[in-house]
Amino acid sequence: MKKYKFALIYFIVLFLSLIVTSIFAQTNLVNPNASKEAKALLSYLNSLNGKYILSGQHNYVNELNRSTDSVKSITGKYPSIWGCDMEGVSGSSYFSRQDVIDEVLKQYDKGSIITIMYHQVKPFDNDSLGFERSVKGRVTDAEWKQIITPGTEYNKMLIEKLATVAFYLKQLQDKNIPILWRPYHEMNGMWFWYGDRKSED
């Protein structure tokens, strides 16, 4: 049964990879000053449109290769895309963001395309509150207004958290490693504090 569970996860990820590839094939880089490596990655993804499907696998921060290795053991092949999270916390345990970056370097050297997401805790929460006690939840309208208004206390906290993560991402930029960066994912859903905030703001 466990083997089939991993196979199901693999095929779900395969399907999602097809969707992502199709989306990338129809868009241009939003940053005209993107690195040549980022442009090359987009060009590669564009070249797959209608021809191939890439598989990808997300890995949890406390088990940086377990899911990827499971795909290999089931299918005999590694996924093309290796993914992880910069949240830094899983359950009640803290995991080093540097460990994630170190693994990215290894995976990139193996030829993987890298995707990194960021489950950010609420700007005014300590990272130790993690996914269950902070990321999953809501902020009030007054808190949201502060978060998105430059110069306010909560906005400064937001920028500080982003700057902390940017420190680690800069290591990848310095090594010319392009990544598919996915902060605030599932932002249309109502299960994360930053999601489902419909307004002109």
Rounded CA-CA distance 57/6 in Å is: 11
Residue 13 has pLDDT above 50, yes or no: no
pLDDT at 180 (0 to 100): 95
- What span, in angstroms and rounded, lies between the C-alpha atoms of 55 and 79? 5
- Give pTM, 2 decimals: 0.79
Pairing of strands 113-118, 93-94: unpaired
Q: Is residue 6 classed exposed, middle or buried when 0-12, 13-18 and 19+ CB atoms within 10 A define those classes?
A: middle
Q: How far apart are CA 90 and CA 84, in angstroms?
A: 12
Looking at every residue in the chain, the average pLDDT score rounds to: 84
- Region 53-66: mean pLDDT is 90
The CA radius of gyration of the chain, in Å to the nearest whole number, is: 18
Q: How confident is the model at residue 138 (pLDDT cuts 50, 70, 90)?
A: very high
The per-residue pLDDT for range 78-131, each reduced to its tens digit, is 999 999 998 865 544 556 889 999 999 999 999 999 999 999 999 999 988 888
Phi first, then psi: what are they for 100, rounded to 5°?
-65, -45
CATH topology for 2-183 is: TIM Barrel (3.20.20)
Classify the C-alpha dihedral 197-16-53-111 as positive or negative: positive
- From 66, 177, 53, select the one nearest 112 (Cα to Cα): 177
Q: How far apart are CA 191 and CA 147, in angstroms?
A: 18
